[in-house]
Structure 1
Amino acid sequence: MARLTLDTTKMAAGGGGGSSGSSNYWEDLRKQARQLENELDLKLVSFSKLCTSYSHGSSRDGRRDRYSSDTTPLLNGSSQDRMFETMAVEIEQLLGKLTGINDKMSEYANSAGVPSLNAALMHTLQRHRDILQDYTHEFHKTKTNFLAVRERENLLGSVQKDIESYKSGSGVNNRRTELFLKEHEHLRNSDRLIEETISIAMATKENMTSQRGMMKSIQSKMNSLANRFPAVNSLIQRINLRKRRDTFILGAVIGICTILLLLYAFH
């Protein structure tokens, strides 16, 4: 890289005083880019260590009471969170500055008139762009992992706190609360059953009322038929009397005719 810079400087110096000033500008940009890259490298290493120690620190905090020999000083969760936010902001600022330097280098490389010089500058610029891309990818990956670990640790911590609070003196109160909740649930179930029974009774009452109306209508029809039945009965009796009378008259006529025939036969 130094050889490439030296060759580039020599090529720029051959063009005159204006090229020498442009070369100095390019070297200043490269110097700033290398300085930012070194700072980013150190920041990303510290950032990765912080994210790695978060889960280990939380697990060792849980075992500190059981193993008193572990006296390694650890940061609590809130301190690590504040340090994480601070370092993330600093790294994002450095990435932004490095992106700006790369943009300036790209403008300078595009403005170079010599083809060989332009190719050398573009090769150097591509190298700086690759470094920026790697740092950006590493930062986002480490940040995502840290957020995932922190969310998991917060969830496990809340569960552990609930278990500890239950095992402590408040566990009795929790037990009573559970019993009260169960009793309340039983009362609600009883109220629901009573409401269902009342609704069934109301439906039965409505059905009985409708059946009562039907029975009343049937009874009224039967009464009307009963009122009409004596007239029909008297008519049937009159018909039967007339048939008997006709039968008697016919029998009398037949008997008289028989007697007359017998008398005629003997005389």
Structure 2
Amino acid sequence: MAAGAAVGGGGGGGGGSSGSSSSNYWEDLRKQARQLENELDLKLVSFSKLCTSYSHTNCREGRRDSSDTTPLLNGSSQDRMFETMAVEIEQLLGKLTGINDKMAEYTNSAGVPSLNAALMHTLQRHRDILQDYTHEFHKTKSNFIAVRERENLMGSVRKDIESYKSGCGVNNRRTELFLKEHEHLRNSDRLIEETISIAMATKENMTSQRGMMKSIQSKMNTLANRFPAVNSLIQRINLRKRRDTLILGGVIGICTILLLLYAFH
């Protein structure tokens, strides 16, 4: 009411009627947003219950024998319900996003700063609720898909085992040996993968070290080419070291020969 009065103060009687109409439009949008949020809340609760009950239902189906007459919702029915509910929730999220966009347009068109701040605060609350619902929907959907894939994989493995056990002339001992051999093969594959990973890491490390050495060598060559005086000085020092080594070797050889001659004579 205060917001409508603030808008009406700038334009007389006609402005008051326009402000009241704008206020009604805003309240209409808020009412639609709250209604969609309530529907989304109920849908998400049902969606979460469906996803939670999926794995339990499949587990019960896996343990169910001929004497169990409890009615169960099979996997295909749950999949259809999941797809239907996911489409409905996505449509509600799209509608709520459209309402928030309309509220944002109305907020941007408001000219009173105090009214604009209040509207922005309300709009931000609705946006936060939309973001939470969207995050919860995607998280629940991802969990359901992961559980369904895992259950399908486990179901196919369980069927293969049952069909293998129910075959004619199957020896349980042989089955156990096959399973142990399969486990050994899996362990061998895992060890081979670890060894390959270690070898690849070693190769990358050696490649990195070789690159570093090449970089150091190139830098040294660059410095030597950049400072020819230093390069020539290093060469003279090396030549002098070689000469000193030759002189020292000659002196040691002559002394050794003289000592041998003195020892024999």
Global fold match (TM > 0.5): yes
The separation in 2 between residues aligned to 1:184 and 1:168, in whole angstroms, is 20
Q: What's the counterpart of residue 242 of structure 2? A: 244
Q: Greater CA deviation, 206-215 or 80-89?
A: 206-215
Deviation at 1:73, TM superposition (A): 2.9
2:129 pairs with one of 113, 116, 131: 131
Q: CA deviation at 1:135?
A: 0.1
Normalised to the residue count of structure 2, the TM-score between the two structures is: 0.57
Please tell me whether the aligned partners of residues 55 and 153 of structure 1 are also in contact (alpha carbons under 8 angstroms).
yes
CA shift, 1:169, in A, is: 3.4
The verdict on how the C-alpha distance between 1:132 and 1:212 changes in structure 2, with shifts beyond 3 A counting, is: closer
Q: Which range is displaced more, 140-149 or 204-213?
A: 204-213
The question of whether the paired residues in 2 share the 8 Å contact of 1:166 and 1:174 is answered with no
Mean Cα deviation higher: 215-224 or 56-65: 215-224
Aligned length: 254
Tell me the distance in 2 between the aligned counterparts of 1:233 and 1:104.
76
If you compute each CA radius of gyration, which structure gives the higher value, 1 or 2? 1
Q: What's the TM-score, normalizing by structure 1?
A: 0.56
Cα deviation digits, residues 126-175 of structure 1 (max 9, x gap) = 00000000000000000010011001000000000001111123676999
Tell me how far apart the structure 2 counterparts of residues 13 and 235 of structure 1 sit (CA, whole Å).
93
% same residue = 94
Tell me if structure 1 keeps the 8 A contact 2:225–2:231: no
CA distance in 2, matches of 1:129, 1:119: 15
Change (3 A) 1:112 1:154: same
The 3 A distance-change label for structure 1 pair 80 and 180 is: closer
Deviation larger for 12-21 or 245-254: 245-254
Q: Residues 14, 153 of structure 1: CA spacing in aligned structure 2 closer, same or farther, 3 A cutoff?
A: farther
More deviation in 236-245 or 134-143? 236-245
Higher relative contact order (CA 8 A, sep 6+): 1
Contact kept, 8 Å, 1:165 with 1:171, in 2: the verdict is: no
Distance 2:258 2:106 in 1: 164
Label 1:27 to 1:176 Cα distance change in 2 as closer, same or farther (>3 A): same
Task: Output the CA distance in 2 between the equivalents of 1:230 and 1:123.
Answer: 73
> Residues 49 and 221 (structure 1 numbering): CA distance in 2 closer, same or farther, change over 3 Å?
closer
Shift of 1:46: 0.4
Structure 2 stretches lacking a partner, 5+ long? 1-9
SS in 1 for 2:171: helix
Q: Structure 2 CA distance, aligned partners of 1:225 and 1:256?
A: 42
Report SS of the residue matched to 1:16.
helix
Q: What residue ranges of structure 1 are gaps of 5+ in the alignment? A: 1-11
Q: Confirm or deny: 8 A CA contact 1:26 1:108 kept in the other structure.
A: yes
Deviation at residue 62 of structure 1 after TM alignment: 1.5
SS for the counterpart of 2:69 is: coil
Instruction: Tell me how far 1:64 sits from its aligned partner.
Output: 2.0
Secondary structure at the aligned position of 1:171 is classed as: coil
Asked whether the equivalents of residues 95 and 136 of structure 1 are also in contact (C-alpha less than 8 Å), the reply is: yes
Say if 1:37 and 1:98, in contact at 8 Å, map to a contact too: yes
2-structure distance, mates of 1:26, 1:263:
121
